[in-house]
Chains A and B, each alone.
Chain A
Amino acid sequence: MASTSAPRPWYRKRWAWLLAGLVLVVIGVRLALNPVADHYTRRWLNQFPTLKGDYQQLSVSLFPPGIELHNLTLAEQPRVGQEPPLLFAERVRGHLRVGQLLRGEFVVRARMDAPKFSYVVRKSVEREVEETARRLEEPVQELLRLVRTLPPLSVERLEVRDGELLIVEAREEGSPSVWVHKLEATVENLPTSAERSGGMPTLLAASGTVQRSGELSLFLTLDPFQSQPTFAGRMRLAGQQLSDFSALTKAKADVIIPKGEMDLSAIFVAREGRILGSLKSEVKNADFKAADEDFGSKLKAALGDAALSLFERDKQGEDRLATVVPINGRLKSPDVGLGAAVTGVLRNAFVEGIASGFAGMVPGEGVGGSGGEDEQAKSDAREGD
């Protein structure tokens, strides 16, 4: 008579213990992750004397591996009065792509919801930017050091939804400001090494509304691995009501523009310290006194970036009535960073656009037309050669 052995109970089986152990480890890691990540994130954000960070809530996810911060605030120190922080974001989240992780690649996708970037100008623009750069140098260097300790990774995509940028001119009465809102942006292909770029530059696409009316669109390609700022792109601003800037133009050039509309388009390429391109601006139906001849130069002196010279034609005293102005300039300082160079080009193009639009304007009559694009293309082609 054959004897039949009773089946072993589950707790005697190795796989059951392995499974239970794995579940316990996952639960343990999951429970420990949030407080541990919270501790180290807060410590990192508060280690700098010139920049402080805070947030309301942090959560870490395992599948996909990622992190999410709510109500993140980054503020320059010391903070002045009720000055808004440099950045407030309702939600910031980032995660590693699981597919690429399984292949041993660290690829990050990140998104910021409703971020508000604020910048208060209290001194001269150059001094203010210089001081901010000095304050941010340590955190940025520390961040770069941290990134270098990580395995090579690439930010495949960074999204910004419903963002705002506010620049407050606190030196002037009434603190006039420039406000970009409904800001939507994507940054793609931002690796920590050139080999991981896949032969493609970093791409930035953005759109937003300037003040109450101007429809802004921006496209940039950047090569972050060149020693000098290397980028190319296009900025367009359409339907900008000039009355939106009345407080600013009154403060800066003692001119009020009660009505008028501006379209602006700039294309540019910066490479090896040189900037080429063209700028076209049209001012239509503006109510503007022709006696204000130095309006443009006042505005450029007040708002322009002196570190960049985009319009060498100015020095040669050439005719500025053309609607298309060639950009042909140089970065004055070889030490200027990529971010500063990009913002400088955009800022100067914007200020020059307003100034040149008025320089070429016949009061009450729009400038340019459908032929303007052709003219710009031709001019751009000349610059590219």
Chain B
Amino acid sequence: MREGARLSRVAMLGAIVAAGLACNGREPPQGSREGGASTGVALKLSRTPEGQFREGAVERIQETLRERGLLTEKVEPGDLDVPTSAALRKLQEQHDLPLTGMPDGATVEALGLDPESLYQRREIPEAQEPQRPAVLRETPEDRGP
């Protein structure tokens, strides 16, 4: 009997801890960036899907599509053109992904490539101090084809 009571207490404690971990009623601290406050640090925006990738990344996607037999037509290297988009759609259909024809993270993963190594990223400093936006001008790769 004593074993059972101890066990139930352990189980209850476990459940309370798990529930607490799952939904601790934490309010964001003052000045935190949570909830949509401005970071002051501009992220790298791009007007074209190609502009979001590192140099050579789109070519790697095209090569992999070709290796898998999904891309047979001649394409412009580095350009997510109509044949490349059609090949991406075929891949997305095979993997039950939305048929956007664009190389989103899950599509890149389905190709066996690591999205982390393909996307461009910008360092976000830990400091809470607002900073001047780092980039206000478009870079050449933003301009697309």
Chain A positions near chain B (C-beta within 8 angstroms) = 14, 17-18, 21-22, 24-25, 29, 144, 147-152, 156-157, 159-161, 184-186, 188-189, 192-195, 197-201, 203, 205-207, 217, 219, 221-227, 230-234, 267-269, 271-272, 277, 373, 377, 380-381, 384-385
Residue of B45, B52, B85, B143 contacting most chain A CB atoms (<10 Å): B45
Give the complex CA separation of A217 and B122 in angstroms.
26
Contact residues of B: prevailing secondary structure: loop
B34 A193 Cβ-Cβ under 8 A = yes
Question: What are the nearest 4 A-B pairs in CB distance?
Answer: A384-B138, A199-B121, A184-B98, A227-B38
Give the complex CA separation of A239 and B67 in angstroms.
31
Given contacts A21-B11, A25-B15, contact A221 B3 (CB under 8 A): no
A14 B100 Cβ-Cβ under 8 A = no
Give the complex CA separation of A194 and B40 in angstroms.
10
B122 A199 Cβ-Cβ under 8 A = yes
Give the complex CA separation of A159 and B143 in angstroms.
27
Residue of A29, A194, A205, A381 contacting most chain B CB atoms (<10 Å): A194
Residue of A225, A232, A267, A268 contacting most chain B CB atoms (<10 Å): A225
Chain B positions near chain A (C-beta within 8 angstroms) = 3-4, 7-8, 10-11, 14-15, 23-28, 32-39, 41-49, 52, 85, 97-102, 104-106, 119-124, 126, 133, 136-138, 142-145
Contacts of B124 in A (CB 8 A): 194-195, 197-199
Given contacts A21-B8, A225-B36, contact A217 B101 (CB under 8 A): yes
Give the complex CA separation of A222 and B48 in angstroms.
12
Contact residues of A: prevailing secondary structure: mixed
B98 A161 Cβ-Cβ under 8 A = yes
Please give the distance in Å from B3's CB to the nearest CB on chain A: 6
A149 B121 Cβ-Cβ under 8 A = no
Task: Name the residue of chain B whose CB is nearest to the CB of A238.
Answer: B82
Give the complex CA separation of A217 and B47 in angstroms.
13
Give the complex CA separation of A91 and B115 in angstroms.
28
Given contacts A25-B11, A194-B124, A377-B145, contact A206 B100 (CB under 8 A): yes
Contacts of A384 in B (CB 8 A): 137-138, 142-143
Given contacts A25-B14, A159-B98, A195-B33, contact A201 B47 (CB under 8 A): no
Contacts of A200 in B (CB 8 A): 43-44, 119-122
Contacts of B123 in A (CB 8 A): 199
